[in-house]
Structure 1
Amino acid sequence: MEAVVFDGSSLNLYYQKDYPLPKLENDDDVIVKVHYSGICGTDLHIIQGEFPAIKTRPIPLGHESSGVIHQVGKNSIFKVGQKVVIDPNTSCSLCDFCRKGNYQYCLTAGINSTIGIWKDGGWAQYVRVPQSQVFALPDGITTEQAGLCEPYSCVSHGFDRASPLKVGDKILILGAGIIGNLWITTLHHHGHREVTVSEMNPTRLDIVKRLDTGFRLVTPDILAKEKTTYDVIIDCTGVGKVMEISFNYMKEGGKYVLFGCCPPSHTSSLNPFDIYNKELTIIGVKINPFSFPSAISWLKAMGTRYLDYHKLGVKTYKLSEYKQAMEDLKKGSVAKAVFKINQD
């Protein structure tokens, strides 16, 4: 089958026409015929060697995938042809973290066993998945829309961590890549209107305009001149220096949501007195523990008003066009690249 394969030992990414087809290994496994599989910012960090991933063998990356059931194990609850989305993360079910419902902290599962990072992922025509990590899509959600379910599940977890977010709060979103855009649509859908979006790339700001939210759009230099303070800052950049600068824009009692995934090498210098004096809250957000059901409900409620690929700046590519996809992401000409597979 076709696949885009990553060799972690050499940091080499390549297209392969004859990657082995997956086979059922357990009675509760399913084989998913992939329709859409996104390229995440984490994937870019992995390819650059800035984020841990499997090195023992080459695998297809891709932890944001939707499609249809192609084959089922004899104990599966799913049916061939069902539309589904894949949750790439799971728990070990044994450690204290997992048994307390916090598998994002698990040292063996969670992000340490992710499909598409440590196991064969969705940048391929087919992928084997334990049925416990598969969710059926309700009527009204397409596999195209469900291609965004995994990142929305992470936003859902972040939304819960940051709650309550009161309508009327002054909110600043840093970065208008796809995660920034998903936060924009989420906040607008939930009734927020006092939102400012900061992005240095004018092309990405133009993309945000397509969403027609009425949010204020600025560049970082404008923020620096204004010195306005905010109740909530949502950092979607994944850049340590951005946090260091933007932390100065916090209002008393404010919350700083560190959402973008920074490489482990990034650092920020913060003033502890400001944290004390303003009673500030710093909120980290890691993956998507048990938030897929919420994300699926969001997708159904948001519909085409918010989930239009063009409005979000999402462009689709064939697996064989992976180099162009990576180049467009690096240039910032698209907010997100998604592989469109098995559509012939």
Structure 2
Amino acid sequence: MDYLLEFLLFLAKTVTVVGGLLVVVTMLTMLGQKAKKLHKGHLEVTKINEHLNQLKESLQHALLDKDTLKKMYKTEKKSEKEKKKEAKGQIKPEKPRVFVIDFHGDLKASAVKSLREEVSAVLALAEKNDEIVIRLESAGGMVHSYGLAASQLARIRSCGIKLTVAVDKVAASGGYMMACTADRIISAPFAVIGSIGVMAQLPNFHKVLKKHDVDVELHTAGEFKRTLTVLGENTDKGREKFKQDIEDTHGLFKQFINDNRHQVDIETVATGEVWYGKKAIELKLVDEIMTSDEYLCKKIENSDVVQVAYVIKKGVTDKFGMAAHSAIDTIVTKWWERLYNNRFFS
């Protein structure tokens, strides 16, 4: 009897603890979902002019003695007063603004979620004498994803705002598709440019399954609903259609680049090859060899340079699930989207 009472007491404690944990997890989930609905993201603005001035002042304080710093500050104040006197009674012209947006592309061009918000925000404020600089880094990925990303940049040109794309490391495949929408492309000397091609691949386990007497049935409505399969037997007709689809996609890719960069000899560069910046300028894939830092430092002299970033806030549940989501995304999403004949810029 005592044993039964102890067991029931232990069971009650266990149920209480488990129930309490479930309540806490449920509350955290609900709070996370509520916060996600209320705060999808926010815009962060950094004034690069001020940032560089702060760096300059920090270095001056570290290297110069007190007397030299005092003299320097007196000279600067005197210069500012003289400028104010000269400008007194005159209408001060507004400086043009340069809006900087960073795009780091992955296989699915996931950053387009932020890019569309950043472009919308800047276009709501930008004027004709302003400029938008995209610091682009991407080796490409899915056709439809990068098609959308390129369309976001095309919005800028359609509004008559100058668009410059700066490539420090890589703008290949879908990344170059985005870059070619710009009025001007600048590239670091060893940045990777090009890869104007399309690829698609998938494994086939039909022979392995056949060896172990495993049959796979695939039923489709539509002759080319599925051209190649992973488990079933592939046919020459299916392969022919699969290759034709890739060629059609490549044709669209070439046409898009030709429409946006008339100076490029598309048949010469649309081979799937990549070139470093110095060779890319010879092929007219880019307009100038320069890093993004060098370009923006020049702009600071006569413009207000502002970096704009749309940050998507992650809730409690999002943070806990980041590692699992990343693993699933890598193992399942990317893999199976390849298997189901998604086309990739390459």
Larger Rg: 2
Same fold (TM over 0.5): no
| TM-score under structure 2 length normalisation | 0.23
Whose strand proportion is higher, 1 or 2? 1
Greater relative contact order: 1 or 2 (C-alpha under 8 angstroms, separation 6 or more)?
Answer: 2
Whose helix proportion is higher, 1 or 2? 2
| TM-score under structure 1 length normalisation | 0.23
